[in-house]
Amino acid sequence: MAKMQPHEEEKKAREFDEIARTIFAPIYPILARIILGKIPIQQGICLDLGSGPGHFAIALSNQSNFLTVALDFSSPAQRIAGENIRTADLEKRVVPVQGDVHHLPFRDNSIDLVISRGSIFFWESPVDVFNEVHRILKPGCSSFIGGGFGTPELKAGILEKMQKRSGDFKESSGKRMSPENIERLSSALASSSAKKHRVERDDANLWFVMEKELS
């Protein structure tokens, strides 16, 4: 894939932010609530992989006492995330960081929770990222990585709106959530260094879950 020019990357990041703050806006608080309801802790350091404009990270910190690191490879996305974080008055709670999910800039056993919505479908090497996530998680802590729409009703509404905006959205979304692709990503998780892992799926959400084993 050819590298985008800076102006193209900026335009794409702005478009993604516009979609995230409008069409996708209702899902982030729901997804944050779902994840927070599955874990025993509500504070510490959370890492949002492929955070884009930071809306998921903001929602997570709004509903908990986590300090959330919003990591993305794109410089424009990080600048926009910073703008959104300031607008939400969360500069002390959400920190934008530029970085590669395949080489996470964090120490071993240093992160209490890892979340990610949507980025997994664009990873070059899922098994390498899962290994990195396992490395940085503290023992006994978890990661929730995947894609979700919150509820079946929200999913239906978003698919309809996005299809009108981009005529191939349902097709591309269907490919990402196809049994073949889910099996590919499940195999990557199973091939990683994580010993405790599972796939959670319902009518609206898909999570590849890892729990770091206790030492």
3 located within any domain: no
The H-or-E segment that residue 114 falls in is strand 111-117
pLDDT at 174: 86
pLDDT at 6: 76
Give the count of domains, the chain. Answer: 1
191 located within any domain: yes
pLDDT at 1: 44
The domain spanning residue 98 has which CATH number? 3.40.50.150
Tokens 């794409």 sit on residue: 12
Domain that holds residue 151: 27-211
134 located within any domain: yes
The model carries a pTM of 0.95
Task: Count CB atoms within 10 A of the CB of residue 41.
Answer: 16
20 located within any domain: no
Instruction: Compute the distance between CA of residue 103 and CA of residue 95 in angstroms, rounded to an integer.
Output: 18
Instruction: Compute the distance between CA of residue 175 and CA of residue 205 in angstroms, rounded to an integer.
Output: 15
List 44's β-bridge partners, or say none.
Answer: 66
Tokens 């729901």 sit on residue: 30
124 located within any domain: yes
Q: How do the pLDDT tens digits run along the chain, 215 residues long?
A: 456 777 888 999 999 999 999 999 999 999 999 999 999 999 999 999 999 999 999 999 999 999 999 999 999 999 999 999 999 999 999 999 999 999 999 999 999 999 999 999 999 999 999 999 999 999 999 999 999 999 999 999 999 999 999 888 888 888 999 999 999 999 999 999 999 999 999 999 999 999 999 97
